[in-house]
Structure 1
């Protein structure tokens, strides 16, 4: 697989211990396209925040991303000979009624979710949090955060299609019970926004966050 060799990414890899606070294979696959050396230490955060306490899905997903990044930062700081760069992310799907849809709890849950998405639009929100430790270790870490939103429009799905899709097992670890980058590509009529955000990691937004931090002198 070809990788994108951006000069300041080499600086990051040389000077920082870069950690992805997520076990998501989709996020790893996308990060692997950059010449950025990193390791994976998934957060232990239970993701049990009360959704009702947040004004919007964007606020909710961003708080999840922040807590994931902070969890790993607190566990690892003081155990490295390099300053840390922690990458935290979280993705949820919001249906047309405004309900947050995370990973399904069961096959029946996935079936109900997909039937509810049939013929309607939903919005994928991903929160991204970057925690950057100071080079000399004497300053508080810099925290950069952002939310990306992408609208996804589904075609009409009959019950047999939904049940066949759930039977593949693919929806079971996906926010919103679908994977657009795989078999659900047959169901999606249109997207408005970043395709990779729907996959689970907004690549362009992530690059811009790193570029902003670079221009601010943190890398």
Structure 2
């Protein structure tokens, strides 16, 4: 299969230093499909914001994405001979009770989280922040977007729960599951962007780039 070659993406990769402010292998895998030249510089942000201070999970997740992007941008903005485009992202799962579920602290924590999601629907939110700086105009542009997807679990029996936690897959996943892998056996429905659940809303990201280009920012 031939690579995806989009003139806009080629131009961005050629004219900007593009940085993904995330060490997530899933985000890297998805971004690679766009055939965009970029580098990975994970954010050092501790992700320790007080959830109770935010009116909604959407507000919380976009704040995380913005801070991640800003932290990396501040580190590299004076080290580049080209304008900079930093991509920040954050994903959380929100239970039917409204609890924000991030990565589990332990296998036991993962099991408890999965039990709480069994037979119910949860929402996945991903915040994406793009920071563009170092252009001739001298202006820094911050573009933000949020994608949401509803995921419905089947009833999760004990055998599957124990086997799934034993794989180690829930360890580094928001909400303790990965739909694109073993969790496909107990997720019965999804409403919205599949890739948002994986951790990066690809279509929304491309739309952001296209909109920025049309406005003359990229």
Same fold (TM over 0.5): yes
TM range (shorter): over 0.9
Query: What is the match of residue 187 of structure 1?
Result: 186
The structure-2 alpha-carbon separation of the partners of 1:135 and 1:124, relative to structure 1 and needing over 3 Å to count, comes to same
Note the C-alpha offset of 1:139.
2.0
Query: What is the match of residue 159 of structure 1?
Result: 158
CA distance in structure 1 between the aligned counterparts of 2:19 and 2:173, rounded to whole angstroms: 22
Greater mean alpha carbon deviation, residues 169-178 or residues 139-148? 139-148
Note the C-alpha offset of 1:161.
1.2
1:81-131 Cα distance to aligned partner (Å, 9 max, x none)? 001000000000000000000000000000000001000000000000000
Indicate yes or no: 2:68 matched with 1:52. Answer: no
Greater mean alpha carbon deviation, residues 4-13 or residues 147-156? 4-13
Structure 1: which 5+ runs fail to align? none
Note the C-alpha offset of 1:35.
2.0
1:175-205 Cα distance to aligned partner (Å, 9 max, x none)? 0000000000001100000000000000010
Equivalent pairs, count: 218
- Asked if structure 1 preserves the Cα contact closer than 8 Å seen for 2:124 and 2:148, the reply is yes
Query: What is the match of residue 113 of structure 2?
Result: 113
Note the C-alpha offset of 1:3.
3.0
Query: What pairs up with 1:1-219 in 2 under 5 angstroms?
Result: 2-136=2-136, 139-219=138-218
CA distance in structure 2 between the aligned counterparts of 1:103 and 1:142, rounded to whole angstroms: 30
CA distance in structure 1 between the aligned counterparts of 2:172 and 2:35, rounded to whole angstroms: 28
Q: Which runs of 4+ in 1 moved over 3 A?
A: none
SS in 1 for 2:207: helix
CA distance in structure 2 between the aligned counterparts of 1:130 and 1:3, rounded to whole angstroms: 24
TM-score by length of 2: 0.98
SS in 2 for 1:96: coil
CA RMSD of aligned residues (A): 0.9
CA distance in structure 2 between the aligned counterparts of 1:157 and 1:23, rounded to whole angstroms: 30
CA distance in structure 2 between the aligned counterparts of 1:160 and 1:31, rounded to whole angstroms: 35
CA distance in structure 1 between the aligned counterparts of 2:54 and 2:149, rounded to whole angstroms: 19
Note the C-alpha offset of 1:2.
4.6
- Asked if structure 2 preserves the Cα contact closer than 8 Å seen for 1:87 and 1:129, the reply is yes
